């Protein structure tokens, strides 16, 4: 009878050990999977950061170019007005002097 209870206890411990081994194997699998997913995610984030940096640089360059084109356009528009104002002012002064 004493041996029988020891035998049963041994069987229970073996079952617990097997269960623990299975849990450990599952945990290792999940850990490995999560680690790989994190590596993949990190790679995608780095790629997106690089793409964002490139896009940001492109936007800044385009903004500078548009500002420069706007400056040139404003100057080109102002030159004829200044010419007209100068000639009008000169002819007006000529009329006054008569």
> pLDDT at residue 69 above 80?
yes
- pLDDT for 89 equals 56
Local structure of 23: helix, strand or coil: helix
> pLDDT at residue 97 above 90?
no
Q: pLDDT-based confidence at 2, cuts 50/70/90?
A: confident
Question: Per residue in 18-47, pLDDT tens?
Answer: 999 999 999 999 999 999 999 999 999 999
Residue 31 CA to residue 33 CA, distance in Å, equals 5
Residue 55 CA to residue 57 CA, distance in Å, equals 5
Residue the block writes with tokens 């699998």? 29
C-alpha distances out from residue 38 to 21, 25, 30, 34, Å: 25, 20, 12, 6
- pLDDT for 70 equals 84
Residue 28 CA to residue 92 CA, distance in Å, equals 94
Residue the block writes with tokens 């069987």? 11
- pLDDT for 73 equals 76
Q: Say what percent of the chain tops pLDDT 70.
A: 77
pTM of the model: 0.53
Query: For the CA atoms of the chain, what is the radius of gyration?
Result: 42
């Amino acid at each position: 009878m004493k041996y029988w209870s020891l035998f049963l206890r041994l069987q229970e411990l073996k079952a617990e050990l097997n269960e623990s081994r299975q849990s450990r194997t599952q945990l290792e699998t999940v850990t490995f999977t999560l680690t790989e997913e994190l590596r993949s995610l990190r790679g995608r984030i780095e790629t997106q950061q690089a793409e964002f940096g490139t896009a940001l640089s492109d936007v800044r360059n385009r903004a500078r170019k548009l500002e420069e084109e706007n400056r040139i356009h404003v100057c080109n528009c102002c030159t004829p007005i200044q010419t007209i104002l100068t000639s009008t002012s000169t002819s007006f002064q000529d009329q006054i002097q008569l």
